[in-house]
Amino acid sequence: MPNNENTSYAAQYQAAQQRAAHAKTALAAFEKNLGFPLDDFQQSACRSVESGRAVLVAAPTGAGKTVVGEFGIYLALRKRLKAFYTTPIKALSNQKYHDFVREYGEETVGLLTGDTSINAEAPVLVMTTEVLRNMLYADSPTLEGLGYVILDEVHYLADRFRGAVWEEAIIHLPEHVTVISLSATVSNVEEFGAWLDTVRGGTDVIVSEHRPVPLWQHMLVGNQIVDLFTPDPEEKRASGARRATKRPKKTPTSTPHPPGCV
pLDDT tens column, 224-256? 888 877 665 555 554 444 444 455 455 554 546
Residue 148: name the closest of 126, 122, 177 by CA: 177
Strand, helix or coil at 241?
Answer: coil
Alpha carbon separation from 177 to 17, 137, 144 (Å, rounded): 31, 16, 11
Residue 242: the pLDDT is: 40
Strand, helix or coil at 243?
Answer: coil
Distance in angstroms (rounded) separating the CA atoms of residues 2 and 141: 63
Least confident of 29-43, 114-128, 181-195, 241-255: 241-255
Strand, helix or coil at 122?
Answer: coil
Residue 82: name the closest of 51, 140, 47, 124 by CA: 124
Residue 138: the pLDDT is: 96
Sequence-ordered list of residues with C-beta below 8 angstroms from that of 151, at least 6 positions apart, any chain? 86, 129, 166, 169, 170, 179, 180, 181, 182
Cα Dmax for the chain: 73
The answer for 84, left when phi > 0, alpha when psi is -120 to 50, beta otherwise, is beta
Residue 234: the pLDDT is: 55
Please count the residues of the chain.
Answer: 262
Sequence-ordered list of residues with C-beta below 8 angstroms from that of 54, at least 6 positions apart, any chain? 48, 178, 179, 180, 181, 196, 200, 201, 202, 203, 204
Domains of the chain (ranges; CATH) run: 29-247 (3.40.50.300)
Question: Could you write out the DSSP letters of every residue in 61-74?
Answer: TTS-THHHHHHHHH
Residue 110: name the closest of 81, 140, 85, 77 by CA: 85
In contact, 244 and 207? CB cutoff 8 Å: yes
Are β-strands 109-112 and 117-118 bridged in parallel, bridged antiparallel, or unpaired?
antiparallel
pTM: 0.78
Q: Kindly report, residue by residue over 127-154, the tens digit of the pLDDT.
A: 999 999 999 999 999 999 999 999 999 9
Distance in angstroms (rounded) separating the CA atoms of residues 72 and 84: 9
State the DSSP H helix or E strand holding residue 177, giving kind and residue range, or none if neither: none
Place 2 in a pLDDT band, splitting at 50, 70 and 90.
Answer: low
